Structure 1
């Protein structure tokens, strides 16, 4: 059986993460990120669900996910996935948008799946020089050119990328963001937003694309990533983010991120790169 290879690099100059997955068979459940994802498929065919739309993505497809875009994918050709991606924090994207447009306004992508040979060339070249550890300003130049093309062809107001959310659902999200380290029950959420359990589940899933529990786990994983980046141990990160035990934490982290918590922590402990 072909070995799965997962390589990740954090670039201190560009303030973003670069991922490369080779020979991957893992399915990723419905989830979201609080950062932008720009990726492309090098090999393999996947069935992708994003914001309640279904896609079949394969070699040459570029994936564009805004923060909070719910998505899931599974291999659908009996083979494996080779994938490269950039994870760009919102603050980094704000700076890039300001450089490109002259306005410090958060923008979003109007499409989630595209095919564009010019963009593919820029994206692959940029990704490779980041993974190679280049310190030349060529990578910043290429990133700005890539973002310029994306904004010019697929950019729109970030507000237009956010599905309309009723006030009650936003109250539940705020509650989970503020109390993620605590034991939260469905009744807690209902009390804070004034909906019955069944009404909350229906409205929340329709609005956010994930269930309240999946939303909470995603918030916890995002907070855990921040702690691991600061050098906090996996055990302490699990405790501080409300996971019931280390195994539960590790399983969710690997499910959403594609790496173990320990492997992710080593990226920042060992100078920005990890392969495993």
Structure 2
């Protein structure tokens, strides 16, 4: 029974590894081989590419074929590792954590988004104060929330969307999400954990696609069709990143709203409902005097 379980887990891991690393890596290896062969001067010369491939395969024995296949697999695996490494910088770019040369642009974009948000938030306040109907107020709130759910602090929409749960939880419950989340995760049922884990996995896959986009864009310096493919991949990754970040952030905030009473009961037997005063008490207990941490 245990052997079957281990075999099943190994098979699933192998399938995930093949789908996430090997197959995209093989595709990039083919693009790399084509780009290094054709270059910019002969970017569409299919006959030249066929001639080079024929030269590699002609007269090759089984040993040479095996070496070529192993080399292609090794290159694919290396490309997959590099794409994973580049997904980190892509994530920081998507979230608005830009390096210092772009600090001025980040501040300018953050300021612009903040001004737009404040103008639309003020319009919402005026509409409520003047007693306008709920439909009109709802339309104004939708326009404001298209910028951000909370006052913008990032140059990108995705960055503010992922920080919104921590801000909204702090305002609603006076609870620091970074301190409460590891404890809450331990008491979450599988019906909540599974959607959260799947949403985070889909977001990570999108970030990995951004890493592949960077690789294709870099190859474009040698073979321009690769740059076109990289630009398309970057656009898809950006769009999917927004959508999947929205889903993940909504699930995180929903998990707090639904399961915070259960967490409070674990630390305060007399508590049966969430009070605003409970947040600071739980936060101080979770921090253990160490002060705030980044989420």
* TMscore range, shorter length: under 0.3
More helix by share: 2
Higher Cα Rg: structure 1 or 2?
Answer: 2
More strand by share: 1
Relative to the length of structure 1, the TM-score reads 0.24
